[in-house]
Chain A
């Protein structure tokens, strides 16, 4: 594996993170701050795209760059957990549980849908 691939991983990872910042901010501004819709939108769209790449059966450098670097950096586990924990601190237990269940169920469903589409392209 060449050094160029790893330079690309670094650049794509930076770009994916900036894209996450903008999509999260855009969705949060539209939905209000009561529920972390911004992170949900980022994670579900990312799960769909990574499912699609899985359906396309990418391998090697293509999988590393498009999947691990681009989509991997765009989505986030840590913010999902932070927002859930902060909701429980504010005693918003229903919203916290909903944030976990909806992200997980729709996340796997989104990945499955993406894989289905990718397999038929």
Chain B
């Protein structure tokens, strides 16, 4: 598949449409929609669809009660964290700039595969059921393993020397 020449190919940024240019103000205080062409949005959509399908299939295949360890959510979150650490480090530090790889692999697949809201509701249900130990253990293990996964994936990518 050929690489597009630049990040913003031909479509004008969404923020620019119907709004006068305002170069005097700094980017910090200005609320703008992110620049995104059709290819970027399609990549996010496709990746998100794939990640969500995998997560939903696992959730449906392995149902669990409120007071047991939520393996499907825990599993997808840690795997997605590892993949995101790998993809983002490789794409920003090792590979030439590409306009659709990060939207597809990072924002799409990893974002769709992992979930924050389900984890929070699972913790809430554990607390409501009086399973405080499980709630604290699940939250702590998710954060520790998720952080470690990012760290490990990042270190693995950086160990490989850049070829010139």
Contact = CB atoms under 8 A, between A and B. Distances in A.
A100 B115 CA distance: 15
Contact of B81 (A28, A69, A78): A78
Contacts of A26: 31-34
Given A73-B111, A111-B121, A81 B149 contact: yes
A111 B120 contact: yes
B60 A64 contact: yes
Interface in B21-38: 27-34, 36
Contact of B103 (A21, A46, A85): A21
A104 interface: yes
Interface in B80-131: 80-81, 83-85, 88, 103, 106-108, 110-121, 123-125, 127
Contact of B53 (A10, A74, A84, A104): A10
Interface residues of B, number: 60
Nearest to A1: B60
Interface string A1-37: 1000010011111111110111011101110100000
Given A26-B32, A29-B30, A76 B111 contact: yes
Most B Cβ at <10 Å: residue of A32, A67, A76, A81:
A81
Contacts of A81: 81, 84-85, 143, 146-147, 149-150
B48 A14 contact: yes
Contacts, number: 205
Interface in A74-121: 74-82, 84-85, 100, 103-104, 107-108, 110-112, 115
Given A21-B107, A26-B33, A29-B27, A78 B117 contact: no
B34 A20 contact: no
Most A Cβ at <10 Å: residue of B52, B81, B116:
B116
Interface of A: 1, 6, 9-18, 20-22, 24-26, 28-30, 32, 42-43, 46-47, 49-51, 54, 64, 67-69, 71-82, 84-85, 100, 103-104, 107-108, 110-112, 115
14 contacts: A13-B49, A14-B44, A20-B48, A20-B111, A21-B34, A51-B121, A64-B59, A72-B117, A72-B118, A75-B115, A78-B83, A78-B113, A107-B116, A108-B123
